[in-house]
Structure 1
Amino acid sequence: MKQQSFEQDVQPLLLYAVPLIALCILLEWWFTRHDDHHRSYDPGDFKASVGIGLGSLIINGILKAATVAMSLFFYELVPWRLPNTWWVWILAYAGIDLCNYTAHYVAHKQRFWWATHVTHHSSEHLNLSTSFRNSWTQYLKIVFFIPVWCLGIHPAITFTCYQLDLLYQFWIHTEVIGKLPRWVEFIFVTPSHHRVHHGSNAAYLDKNFGTTFILWDRLFGTFAEEAEKPVYGLTKPVESFDVIYLNFHEWVAIWRDLRRATSVRQAWTILFGPPT
């Protein structure tokens, strides 16, 4: 399979969704603009989210060829092939979602990976535009998807499932939608679950890492129900709307600490110990 052919097979679902995303944000702002409880569109915060999101789109676009090359490399590496049938799509989506859960979990547990994710938690508001806050260095987490590429599933399928999983995460960044029917809350990640994840409350820290399925959190003991009102943002707030600072402040802090390290062991702890 040639890289050029693969890129032609994959539809840019994220770009197709842009008009709907913009409409949803406009509607959310419109319905909450006079609601003191749900009014979460601070102008500076919104501009920062959009700026971070645009930068992330550009970087991912530039690195798309590298992603295609990596997925093809591992696909060609394994000697087996799975058929392009309906159940393989389900397997691919579940695999992508599990890899996302793993990457998300590790990003909260190790400082190096936290630096690729802290930007997403930097807002003290939660609205649909918060979903744009994807760090400009989050691409490093692409290594967590190698297991899916090694399943023998056509890369066009896994890449499409990856886009769908990413799009799913857009609608869960809101306070407007309350709790949904019990069966939905049991299986899928909902806005209620994700509000917990963005909360800096002690009871909510490092909970609800799922992206589409909350079943992983229930299975691995990282689930928490939304009970008290979440307080959004970091435990050490970043009081800045500067998109450069929001993307790189933790990397700068890591570099500063590494320069003070006196041993390899200390440097390793700085990089892969828990976030400070």
Structure 2
Amino acid sequence: MIEFDFLTSLFGAPEISFDNMYYIEKKAPNIIIWAAPVMFFFVLLEWFISRLQHRHLYEKRETFASVCVGIGNVVINTTLKLSIFYLIIWLYNILPWRMHFNWWTFIPCYIIFDFCSYWAHRISHQQRFWWATHVVHHSAEHYNLTVSFRLSWVQNLKLIFFLPVSLMGFHPVIFFVVNQVAVLFQFWVHTEYIPRLHPLVEYVFATPSNHRVHHGSQEKYINKNYGATFIIWDRIFGTYQKEEEQAIYGLTHQLEDKSNPFYVNFHEYIDIWKDLKGAKGLRKKMFYVFGDPINIARDKTSNSNEHSKIDKES
């Protein structure tokens, strides 16, 4: 009887009328907007301290691009918020196991969301189509808090990876809050000022130490530590790497224009288009769009070396 009462209190929520959608959308807090002043305060604090210590953690062109990318993201997400909320509510309404709005459902929703985030992040490194939606985040060669602003302007395409969370019946407001908190959590890990923490914390969470590894361009660091909040997923699925040496940040190649936020966001799409035009056959074209970025880079290097050899022989 107690179990039945619990299930009744959890599931069986009524549909959300689209007539009330505006009210529900307004009820969902814009946590990122509220947190923005605090984030900018800590950015200024980190910049000021790094200047005093002559650490050169900030570079003008990169910082300008990071801030512009971040502002662009806020504008895009604010514009799309209502449409995304409409989609989430539509999915919620068609489910027979809709959950009532309960604050504690935030916890299982967050854990499941982070699990999906791990796989979305991992796939975004292993397939070029998705890498193009993520590469902007790895393009900074200086590691500081503004790197957390570098989220692709087309990152909302990756919402498809989080459909399993929506299909579990969590209330749309809970889903929306979880998404924002998950994004905010990743702000503090983009710094060199926080050292390795207690072993238990390092074992469970994606700390600054664990995330510095993820941004490293050394071979031992590439495609490691995908966890957004919980590093435990990396330990389970064999992608964990401990911070053992100073990371060399950025991509394995330098960007032509570090200060242009449009180029920073879309340079990979430009490269994909160039590769498609030069590729012969459907299989090769598909490889350049959906292949592993590492294998693609090796293939292009191999082709370049072959052409250089032919040129020398001729």
Normalised by the length of structure 1, the TM-score is: 0.95
Deviation per CA, 1:170-193: give whole Å up to 9, x if none. Answer: 000000110111111111111001
**1:156 alignment partner, one of 162, 173, 182:** 173
Q: 1:134-167 CA distances to partner (integer Å, 9 max, x unpaired)? A: 1111111111110000001101101101100000
Select 1:132's aligned residue among 146, 149, 154: 149
- Partner Cα distance (2:93, 2:251) in 1: 42
Render the CA deviation track for 1:171-216: whole Å, top value 9, x for unaligned: 0000011011111111111100110011001110000111111111
The one-letter amino acid of 2:30's match is P
**1:107 counterpart SS class:** helix
* Structure of greater relative contact order (alpha carbons < 8 Å, 6+ residues apart): 1
Match of 2:90 in 1: 73
- CA shift, 1:270, in A, is 1.7
Q: Does 1:247 align with 2:294?
A: no
In structure 2, which of residues 132, 141, 163 is the aligned counterpart of residue 115 of structure 1? 132
Is residue 2:31 matched to residue 1:31? no
Q: What residue number does 2:233 align with? A: 216
* SS across alignment from 1:202: coil
| Map of 1:205 onto structure 2 | 222
Q: Is the CA contact (8 Å cut-off) linking 1:108 and 1:114 kept in structure 2? A: yes
CA distance in 2, matches of 1:174, 1:266: 39
Measured against aligned partners, the alpha-carbon deviations of 1:206-254 in whole angstroms (never above 9, x if no partner) come to 0011111111111111110000110000011214221111111100111
The counterpart of 2:202, out of the listed 168, 172, 185, is: 185
Per-residue deviation at 1:83?
4.0
From 88, 96, 109, the equivalent of 2:105 is 88
Q: CA offsets, 1:71-125, max 9 Å, x none?
A: 1122122211234335421111111111211111011000000000111111100
Pair 1:54 & 2:107 matched: no
Q: Find 1:260's aligned residue among 278, 282, 297.
A: 278
User: Aligned pair 1:8/2:64, yes or no?
Assistant: no
1:242 counterpart letter in structure 2: N
Over aligned residue pairs, what C-alpha RMSD do you find? 1.4
Which deviates further from its counterpart, 93-102 or 196-205?
A: 93-102
- Decide which of 156, 166, 169 is 2:183's aligned counterpart: 166
Deviation at 1:267, TM superposition (A): 2.5
CA drift of 1:62 comes to: 1.4
Which residue type is aligned with residue 189 of structure 1?
Answer: A
How many Å separate the matches in 2 of 1:235 and 1:260?
Answer: 22
Match of 1:17 among 28, 35, 58: 35
Q: 2:254 and 2:278 mapped to 1: Cα distance?
A: 24
Structure 2 match to 1:41: 58
Aligned equivalents of 1:34 and 1:239: distance in 2?
30
Does 1:147 find its partner at 2:164? yes
The sequence identity of aligned pairs, in percent, is 44
How many residues are paired up?
Answer: 275
For the residue of structure 1 that corresponds to 2:220, the secondary structure is helix
For 2:45 and 2:277, how far apart are their aligned partners in 1?
A: 48
Structure 1: where are the runs of 5+ without partners?
Answer: none
Contact 1:74 1:146 in 2 (8 A): no
Q: Which amino acid is the alignment partner of residue 39 of structure 1?
A: H
Give the alignment's TM-score, normalised by structure 2: 0.84
Separation (CA, whole Å) in 2 of partners of 1:7 and 1:83? 16
1:89-104 pair list within 5 angstroms: 89-104=106-121
Please, which of 109, 123, 134 is the counterpart of residue 106 of structure 1? Answer: 123
What code does the residue aligned with 1:103 have? A
Shift of 1:5: 2.8
Counterpart code for 1:250 = E
